[in-house]
């Protein structure tokens, strides 16, 4: 089939004919119908701060239909409509047995792995030469092989061209608010970073009934669009000569009830924590920091009864919970269309990278 192969870091993807092997034990082969582009794909394609692993097939937000299943797969069958997910749920480990965790020991995200868990081998090849996988999903291919624990079976009536975005960024932001920050109706929420994940976090605050949703971003051009996601007020830290946590405290009579940080900037993480109200404020960190970053705040901020939490994939278990997020969309409780800015044929995938690199999508 056709796949968009990244042969080297930062170079345009090349449409190639690839061979996709049959699924092995606990694997399924999926016909990918729609894929979306996440900034994580761009980040690892540029390979500026990571171990470069090429040639590779990127992609991890997608929707498709199961084509065949490997040995031992009992919960999926050909014809099922599915979302492949970059993390998994084996169902057996302590994390999967815990109601509080979604960080599966077996299938937790691994950006360094280029083969499948079962045998370490790749299921993709060109003229017998292996092509590396990405996050166990590799959705920039017309067919891909994924561990069955990383596959969410969804409502077959759900439009795959819309719900494909549920498999990463949307769920990460939405769940950070609904499952972790848990704002009560009428409370105030600050969202740091208004990219796709931040807008999904704002959507979660809107669904929860927050009275004020304050968007914080260094790019004021993002403010108008963010209104569609429930954001009511905006702060650009560059417009103020005092720390943004102080600006927010003054706006909200002592601080917001909840904050969600979606930037990966350690400064924004500290600001998000220090801008919540003492006594009951909860800050949730979503963004991935640089490896040498250190979080620094005065311990009194904790002793004054502020809470700091972290989250991974919005605390959603892929197989158990993601079908329910799709149902929220089907029941019109969640809007997905407004998250989609461009639609392109697969052959023009490099244009999607251009849009993202220019900040236009």
Tens digits of residue pLDDT in 293-342: 999 999 999 999 999 999 999 999 999 999 999 999 999 999 999 999 99
Quote the pTM value.
0.94
Q: How many other C-beta atoms can be found within 10 angstroms of the C-beta atom of residue 333?
A: 10
Fold of 172-312: Rossmann fold (3.40.50)
Instruction: State mean pLDDT over 188-196.
Output: 96
CATH number for the domain formed by residue range(s) 2-167+317-358: 3.90.180.10
> Cis omega (within 30 of 0) on the bond before 55?
yes
pLDDT in tens, 108-150: 999 999 999 999 999 999 999 999 999 999 999 999 999 999 9
Instruction: State mean pLDDT over 193-214.
Output: 96
Q: How far apart are CA 334 and CA 50, in angstroms?
A: 35
Whole-number pLDDT of residue 361? 87
pLDDT in tens, 62-89: 999 999 999 999 999 999 999 999 999 9
> Residue 205: pLDDT above 90?
yes
Instruction: State mean pLDDT over 270-289.
Output: 97
Within the chain, which residue ranges are assigned CATH 3.40.50.720? 172-312
Q: How far apart are CA 8 and CA 19, in angstroms?
A: 20
Whole-number pLDDT of residue 288? 87
Beta strands at 27-36 and 143-147: parallel, antiparallel or unpaired: antiparallel
Within the chain, which residue ranges are assigned CATH 3.90.180.10? 2-167+317-358
Query: For all residues of the chain together, what is the average pLDDT?
Result: 96
> Residue 49: pLDDT above 80?
no
């Amino acid at each position: 089939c056709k796949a968009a192969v990244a042969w080297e870091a930062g170079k345009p993807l090349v449409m190639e004919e690839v061979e996709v092997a049959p699924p092995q034990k606990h694997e399924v082969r999926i016909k990918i119908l729609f894929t979306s582009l996440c900034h994580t794909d761009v980040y690892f394609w540029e390979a500026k701060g990571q171990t470069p692993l090429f040639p590779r097939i990127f992609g991890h937000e997608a929707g498709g239909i199961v084509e065949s299943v490997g040995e031992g797969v009992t919960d999926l069958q050909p014809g099922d409509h599915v979302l492949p997910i970059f993390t998994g749920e084996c169902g057996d480990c302590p994390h999967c047995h815990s109601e509080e965790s979604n960080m599966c020991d077996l299938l937790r995200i691994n950006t360094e792995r280029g083969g499948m868990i079962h045998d370490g081998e790749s299921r993709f090849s060109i003229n017998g030469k292996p092509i590396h996988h990405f996050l166990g999903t590799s959705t920039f291919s017309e067919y891909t092989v994924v561990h069955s624990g990383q596959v969410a079976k969804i409502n077959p009536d759900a439009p795959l061209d819309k719900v494909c975005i549920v498999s990463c960024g949307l769920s990460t932001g939405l769940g950070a608010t609904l499952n972790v920050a848990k704002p009560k109706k009428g409370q105030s929420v600050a969202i740091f970073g208004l990219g796709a994940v931040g807008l999904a976090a704002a959507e979660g605050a809107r669904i929860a009934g927050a009275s004020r949703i304050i968007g914080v971003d260094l790019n004021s051009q993002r403010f108008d669009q963010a209104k569609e996601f429930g954001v009511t007020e905006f702060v650009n830290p560059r417009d103020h000569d005092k720390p943004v946590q102080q600006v927010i405290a003054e706006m909200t009579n002592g601080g917001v009830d909840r904050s969600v940080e979606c930037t990966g900037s350690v400064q924004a993480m500290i600001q998000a924590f220090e801008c919540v109200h003492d006594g009951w404020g909860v800050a949730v960190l979503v963004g991935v920091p640089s490896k040498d970053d250190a979080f620094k705040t005065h311990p009194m901020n904790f002793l004054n009864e502020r809470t700091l939490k972290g989250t991974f994939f919005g605390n959603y278990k892929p197989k158990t919970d993601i079908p329910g997020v799709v149902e929220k969309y089907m029941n019109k409780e969640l809007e997905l269309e407004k998250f989609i800015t461009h639609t392109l044929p697969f052959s023009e995938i490099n244009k999607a990278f251009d849009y993202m690199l220019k900040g236009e999508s």
